[in-house]
């Protein structure tokens, strides 16, 4: 589904179209599980829960999410999860159904490598604990990946990994609990930890011991970085950079000093075009997005969706938007996908192989890759 409000009437390079970006094997590195659930899946859960007398006060997701998607901004974004989406994803069955549907949706969009991230949650009324939540998600991914190993030659294959997120509202003890869960499952599909949540909340210094421990233990680190001015003080950014993160998400309100450090380290960047513009995190249109600036550096970039269930722009559409607004041709988009693969935390070998096959095929078709 194309992004609403983000498409320009500008001409595409002649050989890039919707079929091309969908067929392009892609890596999605910045996708929140709960924000990636489709309205259709949420609607199915809502209908079943209402039939059993639950969630009676919640609006139909087909209505609620559409109106939210049209008016969401960074201020109204976070309450949306607490007040709506988490009310539907409140038990193990729903969480597992959501995970399966998200994997399926990304696979259908031509994503071959997926890192989902999620914050461990609990729900007293259904008995869901943070540990049971994480194990439930992990089980779905492991089951998927094990079946993938058998059928990896099929067209809709996708390799999936998990990142556990620490919320900025957490205490040090709660953050350590997330890291402990990640450590427990690192022999499975967990590849790293993340810092996310409302950027106006919390003091990142609280989490320094946790991220230092993660680094020592060999887990990968990605951090939501300089999303808004409130989370972009020189002190905050320096604290986060002292953790030596492998990747940074968003990277919007940065100073020259900070940008110099990121460039010197060639840190991987997860950039989200539609999310940033629709949530009004950046000024102007997609053409004004800082993707243009960072593309001129040697930092590897992974175009990402962040919350496709809300912003309604699948990864293929993000590549199409990049082609439209930054004058990228087929070869540029293949290079962009390779760039994302180069900063994957898990094993991206099969994605690289798919990209090679794709490149060869489209060269033969005269796409100029």
Closest separation in Å from C-beta 108 to Zn ion:
22
Judged by beta carbon, residue 72 or residue 323, the one nearer Zn ion is: 72
Query: What is d(CA 210, CA 175) in angstroms, rounded to the nearest whole number?
Result: 7
Q: Which stretch binds Zn ion (CB under 5 A): 15-23, 305-313, 318-326, 329-337?
A: 305-313
Q: Which stretch binds Zn ion (CB under 5 A): 20-28, 135-143, 148-156, 298-306?
A: 298-306
Point out the catalytic residue in the list 227, 236, 259, 359: 227
End-to-end CA distance of the chain: 25
Angle, alpha carbons 17-348-109 (nearest 5°): 30
Query: What is d(CA 101, CA 38) in angstroms, rounded to the nearest whole number?
Result: 8
Of 168-197, binders to Zn ion (CB under 5 A) are none
Closest separation in Å from C-beta 115 to Zn ion:
12
- SS3 state at 314: coil
Judged by beta carbon, residue 90 or residue 307, the one nearer Zn ion is: 307
Judged by beta carbon, residue 306 or residue 332, the one nearer Zn ion is: 306
Number of residues interacting with Zn ion: please give it, by CB under 5 A: 1
Query: What is d(CA 339, CA 213) in angstroms, rounded to the nearest whole number?
Result: 28
Burial class of residue 318, CB neighbours in 10 A (0-12, 13-18, 19+): buried
The β-bridge partners of 261 are none
The residue whose Cβ lies closest to Zn ion is: 306
Query: What is d(CA 192, CA 298) in angstroms, rounded to the nearest whole number?
Result: 23
The β-bridge partners of 271 are 303
Residue 253 region by backbone torsions, left for phi larger than 0, else alpha for psi between -120 and 50, else beta:
beta
Q: Using alpha carbons, select from 167, 185, 180, 32 the residue that is nearest to residue 99.
A: 32
Query: Binding to Zn ion by residue 318, rule CB under 5 A?
Result: no
Judged by beta carbon, residue 109 or residue 306, the one nearer Zn ion is: 306
Query: What is d(CA 29, CA 345) in angstroms, rounded to the nearest whole number?
Result: 9
Closest separation in Å from C-beta 160 to Zn ion:
17
Judged by beta carbon, residue 41 or residue 276, the one nearer Zn ion is: 276
Contacts of 23 (CB under 8 A, 6+ apart): 110, 358
Closest separation in Å from C-beta 249 to Zn ion:
5
Closest separation in Å from C-beta 273 to Zn ion:
13
Among 97, 115, 227, 306, binds Zn ion (CB under 5 A): 306
Site string for Zn ion, 255-294 (x = CB under 5 A): ----------------------------------------
Query: Binding to Zn ion by residue 167, rule CB under 5 A?
Result: no
Residue 227 is among the residues annotated as catalytic for this protein: yes
Residues that bind Zn ion (CB under 5 A): 306
Which residues are catalytically annotated? 227
């Amino acid at each position: 589904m194309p992004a609403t409000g983000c498409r320009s009437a500008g001409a595409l390079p002649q050989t890039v179209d919707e079929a091309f970006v969908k067929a392009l094997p892609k890596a999605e590195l910045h996708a929140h599980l709960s924000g990636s659930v489709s309205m259709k899946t949420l609607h199915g859960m809502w209908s079943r829960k209402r039939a059993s007398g639950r969630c009676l006060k919640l609006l139909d997701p087909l209505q609620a999410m559409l109106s939210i998607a049209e008016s969401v901004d960074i201020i109204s974004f976070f309450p949306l999860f607490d007040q709506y989406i988490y009310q539907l994803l409140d038990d193990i069955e729903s969480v597992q159904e959501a995970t399966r549907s998200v994997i399926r949706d990304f696979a259908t969009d031509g994503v071959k490598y997926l890192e989902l991230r999620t914050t461990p949650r609990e729900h007293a009324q259904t008995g869901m604990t943070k540990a049971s939540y994480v194990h439930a998600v992990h089980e779905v991914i492991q089951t998927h990946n094990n079946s993938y190993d058998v059928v990896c030659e099929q067209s809709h294959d996708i390799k999936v990994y998990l990142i556990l997120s620490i919320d900025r509202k957490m205490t040090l003890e709660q953050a350590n609990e997330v890291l402990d869960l990640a450590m427990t499952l690192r022999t499975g599909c967990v590849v790293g930890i993340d810092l996310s949540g409302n950027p106006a909340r919390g003091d990142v210094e609280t989490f320094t011991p946790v991220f230092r421990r993660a680094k020592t233990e060999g887990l990968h680190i990605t951090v939501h970085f300089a999303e808004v001015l409130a989370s972009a003080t020189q002190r905050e950014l320096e604290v986060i950079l002292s953790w030596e993160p492998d990747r940074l998400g968003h990277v919007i309100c940065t100073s020259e000093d900070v940008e110099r450090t990121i460039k010197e380290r060639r840190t991987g960047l997860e950039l989200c075009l539609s999310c940033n513009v629709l949530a009004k995190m950046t000024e102007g249109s997609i053409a004004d997005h800082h993707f243009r600036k960072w593309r001129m550096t040697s930092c590897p970039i992974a175009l990402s969706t962040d919350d496709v269930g809300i912003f309604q722009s699948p990864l293929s559409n993000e590549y199409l938007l990049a082609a439209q607004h930054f004058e990228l041709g087929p070869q540029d988009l293949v290079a962009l996908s390779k760039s994302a693969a180069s900063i994957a935390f898990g094993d991206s070998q099969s994605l690289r192989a798919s990209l090679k096959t794709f490149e060869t095929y489209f060269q033969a078709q005269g796409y100029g890759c």
